[in-house]
């Protein structure tokens, strides 16, 4: 049984006080939601305020990144224990913006995934093709490679703890989402890869779609049984639109 999972990636937005205000509004709006897993991923500095504000809420808190070492001389980095100490459950790993602007490699993504799992954090691993790769018909090849690399060396029993977010790069922040058919077909291909890696895990692992998800189009995605939810950027930055996305995922039945 895979429960729908909607996570908000705030990226480099919201000061700690703005973040507190946002989740203060959000928790009231979704207080009746009991069949969707919900998470927000603020910037590191806003995490304590958000954790505090959400103490009495079902909304989980995640980070947008972490380093793959326990501690030490790594100026500017944040360790997994720093996240678990704040009771965080999730951590986004390998977002395309980190891969593009901060040159994060598949190898680093894999190190981070393994370290997160070792420390009891649930990684949300982002994969996706560029426009050029899509136009060259290399979408499935690209995401297959990223999934193989990310899950390399992960124990079979840990694979269902991972969420994969399929985020085509050309759909991020552009207002142009993938079609539900395209998204479902690529996500099916990811499930096939997961099955190759660990037979049976493809039924348990949650795979989200991300890229210009809004309240008006989330139903097109969540209605596909292979799509388990969404990683939401822009629409997670106001309580109203994020609650709008979450509420459209309620009452989805036992098919997942």
**Which residue, 160 or 211, has its beta carbon nearer to ligand 13P?**
211
Per-residue x/- mask for ligand 13P, residues 8 to 27, rule CB under 6 A? -x------------------
User: Is 212 a known ligand-binding residue?
Assistant: yes
Residue 59 CB partners (closer than 8 Å, separation 6+): 23, 26, 27, 30, 38, 39, 40
Residues touching ligand 13P: how many (CB under 6 A)? 14
Single out the segment in contact with ligand 13P by CB under 6 A; choices: 42-50, 54-62, 101-109, 209-217. Answer: 209-217
Contact between 94 and ligand 13P per CB under 6 A: no
Instruction: Give the C-alpha separation, 217 to 208, whole Å.
Output: 14
Are 48 and 23 spatial neighbours (Cβ–Cβ below 8 Å)? Answer: no
Beta carbons of 157 and 118 less than 8 angstroms apart: no
Nearest alpha-carbon partner for 19 in 229, 248, 236, 230: 236
- CB contact at 8 A, 246 and 6: yes
* 11 assigned binding-site residue: yes
- Taking contact as CB under 6 A, which single stretch among the options 72-80, 110-118, 179-187, 204-212 is the one that binds ligand 13P? 204-212
First to last CA, the chain: 5
Which of 53, 95, 133, 161 is flagged as catalytic? 95
Q: Which member of 23, 234, 243, 248 binds ligand 13P (CB under 6 A)?
A: 234
* Annotated binding residues for substrate: 9-11, 173, 212, 233-234
Can you give the binding site for ligand 13P, defined by CB under 6 A? 9, 95, 167, 172-173, 210-213, 231-235
């Amino acid at each position: 049984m895979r429960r729908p999972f909607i996570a908000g990636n705030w990226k480099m937005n919201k000061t700690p006080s703005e973040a507190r205000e946002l989740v203060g509004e959000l928790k009231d709006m979704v207080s009746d939601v009991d069949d969707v897993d919900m998470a927000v991923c603020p910037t590191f500095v806003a995490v304590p305020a958000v954790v505090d504000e959400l103490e009495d809420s079902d909304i989980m808190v995640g980070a947008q990144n972490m380093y793959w070492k326990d501690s030490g001389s790594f100026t500017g980095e944040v360790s997994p224990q720093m996240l678990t100490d704040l009771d965080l459950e999730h951590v986004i790993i390998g977002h395309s913006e980190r891969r593009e602007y901060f040159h994060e490699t598949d190898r680093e993504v894999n190190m981070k995934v393994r370290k997160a799992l070792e420390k009891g954090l649930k990684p949300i691993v982002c994969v996706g093709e560029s426009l050029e790769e899509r136009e060259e018909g290399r979408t499935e090849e690209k995401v297959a490679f990223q999934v193989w690399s990310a899950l390399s060396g992960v124990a079979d029993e840990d694979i269902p703890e991972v969420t994969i977010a399929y985020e085509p790069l050309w759909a991020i922040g552009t207002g142009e989402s993938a079609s539900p058919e395209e998204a479902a077909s690529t996500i099916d291909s990811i499930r096939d890869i997961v099955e190759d890696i660990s037979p049976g895990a493809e039924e348990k692992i949650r795979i989200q779609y991300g890229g210009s998800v809004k309240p008006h189009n989330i139903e097109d995605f969540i209605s596909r049984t292979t799509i388990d939810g969404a990683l939401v950027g822009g629409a997670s930055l106001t309580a109203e639109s994020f609650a709008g996305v979450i509420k459209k995922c309620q009452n989805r039945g036992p098919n997942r």
